[in-house]
Structure 1
Amino acid sequence: MSNGNRVKSLSGKLAVILTVAGLSFMVSAPAHAAGGLRFEEMKCEFTEGGDGGPASPYFVLFTGRPDGTTTTTMIRKPWWDNNCEDGYVSKPQQLISANIPNNTFYMAALIEEDVDPDLYQAQINGINSILKQKWQSARTKTQLQQYNTMAPALADAVQDRLGNDDFHDVDGGWVNTQSGWLYPLHFEDGDPDESTTLVRVWLRMV
């Protein structure tokens, strides 16, 4: 049910999966085709022996378009607070960004909220400014070079702004079609040989 390209993130104990509908990567794909990217669903799954995952997760999601424009959005829902237990499903159906053409690079960071989120709009704007500057040079490079440039930049920008919240991981992929499913993204934190928490997030082009 999935196709397209992605780059595996750092190994670890916590895993988050992002699946994007309507997206894949094809060098020959026309860059002018653009749709909207929507956050459809999040599902929490704990493997046997798991010690629990990000009980109150939220996400910082970045998109870098081929023309150099970028967006960075925080995805957080109050009803996620202390609710990310095994089998928990949420369907916020939130539009993340419009005008997402083929060959757009997207990535997300998973963060666990402590009491209240450490990030607010001014900080998200600051993160986007840093990533936009990085993207200007990265956008003309290979996929691997893009990922190796942008993923650490997002991780650093987020962690520099956190107080009590916990950063978990970053992963990313590329838009290559306006319909269809991308290969799931994996976010991990800790020892991959130990129990793993999975949070699946489906995104859709609309």
Structure 2
Amino acid sequence: MAWLSPAYPVGAFSYSSGIEWAVESGDVTKAETLKDWLATMLTDGGGFCDAVLFVHAHRAVDDDNALRGIAELAAALAPSKERHLETTAQGNAFTEATRAAWPCAALDRLKAAWDGPVAYPVAVAVAAAGNGIAIQSALAAFLQALVANWVSAGVRLVPLGQTDGQRVIAALEPVVAATARRALETSLDDLGASTFRADLASLRHETQYTRLFRS
């Protein structure tokens, strides 16, 4: 939980995963539409893809070839430049901070096996596996933190009250649990997303006239 705290130095507060454009375009205007948008991202979009990548990275921690393959796939899978920046900037920052404070052989192995940018779910999964944190607990915490960050962005952008934000987080808990269960049973061959509007949001965010977030 320390790793997934807003205080952990990965800069998660700087990113909205395209939510800023969704608010600008009128897709997200209140708590209900924010909840619906995020539920779709979790079940059919980037949230689900990150969960699957997390699972396979956690399981590959003792296999250099598999670890390199999943790290490469995760870095290549981002649908836009800004989503790539979001996941790799956080992943690289997480790797360095955790190697300094919670060193483990698994993170050293990742560094040796893959010299490219590290996607955030891969970095967290490898650290969790290397420190003996069970995959189910680690994955649930990762997805819950992802949702909390998305909601934090929505609260600032719509804007919403803090209580409405907490209602959205509470309403998404069953979706988080269902996504985690599904990810544990999903092969890399079945990895994919179908949230075209969210992908377009991450592309169009780059040219918004005013921006608070980096993605």
Confirm or deny a common fold (TM above 0.5). Answer: no
Structure number with higher relative contact order (C-alpha < 8 Å, ≥ 6 residues apart): 1
Q: TM-score, normalised by structure 1?
A: 0.32
- In terms of fraction of residues, the more helix-rich structure is 2
- In terms of fraction of residues, the more strand-rich structure is 1
